[in-house]
Amino acid sequence: MLGWSIRLGSLLGVPVFVHWTFLLLVGWLMAGPFMAGAPNPVAAGLRAGGFVLAVFGCVLLHEMGHALAARRYGIRTRDIVLLPIGGVARLESMPRKPVQELVVAVAGPAVNVVIAALIIPAVLATQGAGAFAPPAGGRVDQASFLASLGAVNVMLVAFNAIPAFPMDGGRVLRAVLAMFVERATATRIAASVGQVVAVLLAVFGLFTGQYMLLLIALFVFMAAGAEARAEQFASVMRGVPVWRAMMTRFVTLRASQTLGDAARELLAGSQQDFLVLADDAAGDDDATAIAGVLTRHDLARGLAAGREAALVQELMRPACPSVREQEDLQSVLDRLYRDGRLESGECPVIPVVRPEGPRGSGGRIVGLITPENLTELVMVLGAPRGGVPAPPPVR
Ligand SMILES: [Zn+2]
């Protein structure tokens, strides 16, 4: 998502990005008065553009509310991204204490309450209640600019009060529930409520002919499922040591092997991405010799270009820092997420190292963590009856 975003700068230490499609939206709205042949297209175009920018200024302040509240609890915000559908503040983690999550979730809409409380009385005092009537032709004019901005802030609060993920209301609901029941249960209930809300929204949209609501309902429905899955994932990973999730049967490649060799290994087993060791490695599990990673994707690209004879080291990418087998899986994943390696796909395989290997300080590679075996772990441990025996300990 960030790949298509432009950095605007940073606000109170939080990097702010804008997605390029957002600029398209501003351009399109500014061009509207020209295409419609409005009497004074330049002024109308600037006003339309200015209004969108003012709205997104309010969205940005809303996200800053979340970011600053999170900062109070020592949680940093990686960035804020402005999209045509709204803003996203990407916090490094969500506070796990329900009260703190509640504060962080409420802090965003609270900013819009403050903005509305400043604008609306001012408009009422100077222009009267008539200023809030929808502007003629649906176009914001000079007189209705502030009134419309006030109305937008009220709408932002109302929209986020809907108790469904990904709206703030969904998080508020989960946080309140989590004060009484376990977090995983709270998430499941909140996700179900969100799906009911989505269905009601869809029915309402269908009967009133507001088909845009159907799209929003679908989006909300899917977000509820995603949130429930993410929480299930996290609750399974917590307290599980790395060795329980790692792949212990794996092959490593050497830097000077060819892509043809690598292709044969790919076909021979179920492994997709390979750890590459330097040629002078003391063995196939020498952790000091890790030189890089060859992914199936890179391998396929090399083969497609007819480079079977090319060396693995020409196509490999840097390896991820290795982890210890006794580390807590969730904290490993949290760390990768904080460093931004998880979403970027920068870590297709994570080497798991046992420090006291036969070669002393360097250690021995005893396993690999890959996205596929993490998914399998959730499938196994998250099974309703949990009826799968624990794998034998590795030491
Ligand atoms: Zn929010």
pLDDT tens digits, one per residue of 163-172: 888 788 988 9
Predicted local confidence at residue 356, as pLDDT: 66
| C-alpha of residue 226 to centroid of ligand 1, in Å | 17
CA distance 93 to 310: 42
| C-alpha of residue 165 to centroid of ligand 1, in Å | 11
Q: Which residues are in the CB-under-5-Å shell of ion ligand 1? A: 108, 168
| C-alpha of residue 108 to centroid of ligand 1, in Å | 5
| C-alpha of residue 167 to centroid of ligand 1, in Å | 7
| C-alpha of residue 89 to centroid of ligand 1, in Å | 8
Q: How many Cβ atoms from other residues are within 10 Å of residue 262's Cβ?
A: 26
| Contact call for residues 247 and 370 (beta carbons, < 8 A) | yes
| C-alpha of residue 68 to centroid of ligand 1, in Å | 12
| Contact call for residues 299 and 263 (beta carbons, < 8 A) | yes
Phi, psi for 295 (deg, rounded to 5): -90, 160
| C-alpha of residue 91 to centroid of ligand 1, in Å | 12
| C-alpha of residue 62 to centroid of ligand 1, in Å | 6
Spatial neighbors of 201 by CB under 8 A, at least 6 apart, are 213, 216, 217, 220
CA distance 358 to 376: 31
| C-alpha of residue 153 to centroid of ligand 1, in Å | 12
CA distance 266 to 117: 62
| C-alpha of residue 105 to centroid of ligand 1, in Å | 6
Predicted local confidence at residue 138, as pLDDT: 57
Predicted local confidence at residue 3, as pLDDT: 60
Sheet holding 252-254, edge to edge: 252-254, 274-277, 290-294
Residue type, 166: P
Phi, psi for 78 (deg, rounded to 5): -60, -50
Predicted local confidence at residue 340, as pLDDT: 64
Low-confidence ranges of the chain (pLDDT < 50): 1, 384-395
Predicted local confidence at residue 196, as pLDDT: 92
| Contact call for residues 252 and 265 (beta carbons, < 8 A) | no
| Contact call for residues 328 and 311 (beta carbons, < 8 A) | no
Residue type, 244: R
Q: Which residues pair with 19 in a beta bridge?
A: 5
| C-alpha of residue 137 to centroid of ligand 1, in Å | 30
- Dihedral sign for Cα atoms in the order 136, 137, 138, 143: negative
| C-alpha of residue 168 to centroid of ligand 1, in Å | 5
Q: Which residues pair with 89 in a beta bridge?
A: 80
| C-alpha of residue 225 to centroid of ligand 1, in Å | 19
| C-alpha of residue 247 to centroid of ligand 1, in Å | 39
Q: How many Cβ atoms from other residues are within 10 Å of residue 137's Cβ?
A: 9
| C-alpha of residue 28 to centroid of ligand 1, in Å | 26
Instruction: Give the β-pairing of 252-254 and 274-277.
Output: parallel
| C-alpha of residue 275 to centroid of ligand 1, in Å | 41
| C-alpha of residue 40 to centroid of ligand 1, in Å | 37
| C-alpha of residue 64 to centroid of ligand 1, in Å | 9
- Dihedral sign for Cα atoms in the order 328, 72, 220, 202: positive
Gap between the terminal Cα atoms of the chain = 42
| C-alpha of residue 118 to centroid of ligand 1, in Å | 20
| C-alpha of residue 73 to centroid of ligand 1, in Å | 17
Predicted local confidence at residue 332, as pLDDT: 80
30 CB burial (10 A radius; 0-12, 13-18, 19+): buried
| Contact call for residues 87 and 185 (beta carbons, < 8 A) | no
Predicted local confidence at residue 388, as pLDDT: 39
Q: pTM of this prediction?
A: 0.67
CA distance 357 to 284: 13
| C-alpha of residue 87 to centroid of ligand 1, in Å | 8
The alpha carbon of 130 is separated from its chain's Cα centroid by a whole number of angstroms, namely: 42
| Contact call for residues 154 and 166 (beta carbons, < 8 A) | no
| C-alpha of residue 46 to centroid of ligand 1, in Å | 28
